[in-house]
Structure 1
């Protein structure tokens, strides 16, 4: 056979080989296409949030490994998303439980997160605040300008602002940093704390110190003046000397009463959260009789009739025994002091299923309506000159109010000028 020609049998074999090879290639490509389509469909499902898809990993070779790795990746992504969702739920719960307003703002001044307290402060409704510019979220004064001022990225800032209703807020900004090698600052987190109550307490303390100083200084100045007069004049008339000594004695009593009232008020305030430790069942009638015996001599000097109306004499209150005594003593003493001669003071004690009611009514000078909201303030006097003249310290009703509060009670006043006043106390019975 000539070497330049291919044998027919050989040609047939070659063609058969090529046909088989082509057939295998086509089949392999079809299988590959089917697997690739499955992977594409699965990837599309995953991209839409369906993590239940799973590829057949029984295939051998590269396709089997690809299917296994794909399934592992989907499972990992699903676990990561579940973990992130769990962390997000916890973060929202934490933010919701924080009493301060919290808002995080990125470097482009877009809101990253915000808790419900901040939403309430900004009067913002809905949960679509993420990635909105903070100017569209933070509404109203004083927050917008204040946040803009403290929002210095990369540094801590704080300031205190007051709104139109007299509420005070401390606004503090802290940078949000990524703790990596670059230590990038990606925004700022703003903490808005309502410090209105703290401010008011600070003012109360400040006013209290100023008032105590003034109240102590007045009798001390008087005592000092009369002592200097007596020391500098040995020949002073005996009647004048005795008058000066009586004034010194009166001012000393005034000082003693003031200090006693300050200590009493301080004790009540410091023990408001410890009421269970020193409380016992106190018979109101027994305490009233003790107070009556103390005050009746002063009432008799003014021909004032003190009468009582007890529903029964077995009514008891869970209290510190001294509290009930202080309460009745201050109310009845005030009633006698501010009632003209031949007036009346009536003490009523009643009870129902849930409350004990104590009322002290007088036929005295009464309290102007404009002064009623302030009469329980420390050192507040309706008429300062009259109060000092009759010996009031300005703390009696403040003591009464704190005692009532410590007993889970309420107190209010009904009064008409020149007709009299009635102090009404409602105290809850222990359950």
Structure 2
């Protein structure tokens, strides 16, 4: 069923209305022309007859002549056409002198418009009027009666022309009946033509609807080479272009989504009202870990407050949520000069801040560690400058102090260079190989037995039962770690104390255990002993010459070899250090 708003219906209606308007216009003109022609012909005939009668009766109306009704009647009978109408003979004043309508009207004044016009202007006059009594159209013709140029009166001839109007009515009926039939045929033909014309348009419309649903696989077939064919070709070309554009757009969206999803920074997309539309995985992880859920974290980020700023160029702010530090960049998305949404990039800079703080602390600690021996060296040098030649013993003591402080700065510089090299990947490649545990522990005995005896300490090294047990690591690094841990044990164990070294062997690992009965480490300091430049000041003295980098170096080396180092300690009861390394897959024979 065709809809009233369809193009096909509109074409049929417009086509029909145009034909109807043309038929009505032609019909009106035809009826008017036919009526005018018939009435004009009858009026011309009536005027000729009236003029003839006026000429015949003029002598009877001449001055001095006696008007005889019988004479006038005989004259009228000589013109048979007048018997179908009514004749009025009026004098100059408009009074009826004779009429075929009956003697009762003789002597009365004739006041109709035709007679009045003829009497006033002494000219021909005519009119057509409808008589409601006889229900017919009447033609009235009035001509002046003259004799030898003398105006004598008016002859008025009134006759019925209803037959003429009936003829016109019949002709009009026939015309409009035929017009209706033709109009019906025209409507049928118009519907057929409109269907043929609008079929391609309907197909184009259906194709557009299919394209609007995202299906660009269908194509139209051009049935003609006219404008409709060009439209079909344009729609097919548009479908090709849209399919390629949407495919490219989807590809770009997938790439963008993949990039946003894989970004290390958190990305939050918001609409113009501040409602969250999308968050990538990094943002969800950061926000869920920072506070009690995503919504609470977003609220604490105060993005709605940042939206009040100049977001066109990007608003940057650092927000602290719990123990996490976030760097937030909020930028608006503009479309046609209006804000269409916002994009917030959230970055967890907690570790970065910690590293920056560690760098600042590192520089401060290095400056402090270097300043102390430099100040001491400078002070002793200034004093030595004022000493005399007879104070050689004092100079020697001062030189020993200067040498000791210089050695301390050398050790500090060496440790810093080694630690920096490990941070950068090592000054040399790590030479990982199987190292016999027996050889490592025997080397410890050789290096520290004499020093332990000098400090009145008991050093016991327990060798494993199997001599073929090996650890997998860099031999120089393993010795450095053991030396560092054992040096600390010797340094902070008072005389009479005991130091034990043993190796705990399992199927996968070898753990070196170094325990002492020294002064120990307070519980609050124990988690920080492996930090750079960290030293437990209680019960310890800078006079030991420590740089605060030994344990930090030991941890870096152990971790570089894939191992683990940890410490247990109780104040005034001693400290135990565990150095765990991988056991070699094939122990030495």
SS in 2 for 1:357: strand
Q: Of 235, 256, 264, which residue of structure 2 is paired with 1:91?
A: 256
Q: Of 172, 183, 192, which residue of structure 2 is paired with 1:27?
A: 192
Task: Tell me whether 1:328 sits opposite 2:486 in the alignment.
Answer: no
Query: Are the equivalent residues in 2 in contact too, given 1:105–1:188 (CA < 8 A)?
Result: yes
Task: Tell me whether 1:144 sits opposite 2:311 in the alignment.
Answer: no
Q: CA deviation at 1:192?
A: 2.6
Query: Are the equivalent residues in 2 in contact too, given 1:146–1:171 (CA < 8 A)?
Result: no
Distance 1:160 1:66, change over 3 A: same
Match in the other structure for 2:47? none
Question: 1 CA distance for matches of 2:535 and 2:272?
Answer: 56
Distance 1:242 1:193, change over 3 A: same
Question: How many aligned residue pairs are there?
Answer: 405
Question: 2 CA distance for matches of 1:429 and 1:35?
Answer: 83
Q: Of 200, 209, 218, which residue of structure 2 is paired with 1:44?
A: 209
Superposed CA deviations along residues 319-364 of structure 1, whole A, max 9, x for unmatched, are 4433112111101111222223333323233444443323222232
Task: Tell me whether 1:292 sits opposite 2:445 in the alignment.
Answer: yes
Task: Tell me whether 1:169 sits opposite 2:326 in the alignment.
Answer: yes
Task: Tell me whether 1:197 sits opposite 2:197 in the alignment.
Answer: no
Distance 1:271 1:384, change over 3 A: farther
Match in the other structure for 1:231? 385
Q: Which runs of 5+ in 1 are unaligned?
A: 7-13, 130-135
1 or 2 for the larger relative contact order (CA 8 Å, sep ≥6)?
Answer: 1
Distance 1:416 1:24, change over 3 A: same
Distance 1:198 1:343, change over 3 A: same
Distance 1:25 1:331, change over 3 A: same
Superposed CA deviations along residues 357-389 of structure 1, whole A, max 9, x for unmatched, are 232222322222221100111221222562423
Question: 2 CA distance for matches of 1:204 and 1:236?
Answer: 50
Query: Are the equivalent residues in 1 in contact too, given 2:504–2:510 (CA < 8 A)?
Result: yes
Question: 2 CA distance for matches of 1:252 and 1:373?
Answer: 31
Question: 2 CA distance for matches of 1:287 and 1:428?
Answer: 15
Match in the other structure for 1:423? 577
Query: Are the equivalent residues in 2 in contact too, given 1:153–1:185 (CA < 8 A)?
Result: no
Distance 1:291 1:148, change over 3 A: farther
Q: CA deviation at 1:78?
A: 3.1
Match in the other structure for 1:345? 499
Question: 2 CA distance for matches of 1:172 and 1:271?
Answer: 34
Match in the other structure for 2:116? none
Q: Which runs of 5+ in 2 are unaligned?
A: 1-37, 39-170, 172-178
Match in the other structure for 1:281? 433
Q: Of 554, 558, 561, which residue of structure 2 is paired with 1:404?
A: 558
Match in the other structure for 1:306? 460
Question: 2 CA distance for matches of 1:106 and 1:215?
Answer: 55
Q: CA deviation at 1:142?
A: 3.9
Alignment of 1:60-139 (within 5 A): 61-103=226-268, 114-123=279-288, 139=298
Q: CA deviation at 1:261?
A: 2.2
Match in the other structure for 1:259? 413
Q: CA deviation at 1:120?
A: 4.1
SS in 2 for 1:393: coil
Structure 1-normalised TM-score?
A: 0.77
Q: CA deviation at 1:65?
A: 4.1
Max Rg structure: 2
Distance 1:157 1:23, change over 3 A: closer
Distance 1:376 1:427, change over 3 A: same
Distance 1:284 1:218, change over 3 A: farther
SS in 2 for 1:141: helix
Question: 1 CA distance for matches of 2:296 and 2:410?
Answer: 58
Question: 2 CA distance for matches of 1:358 and 1:143?
Answer: 52
Question: 2 CA distance for matches of 1:312 and 1:218?
Answer: 48
Q: CA deviation at 1:93?
A: 0.2
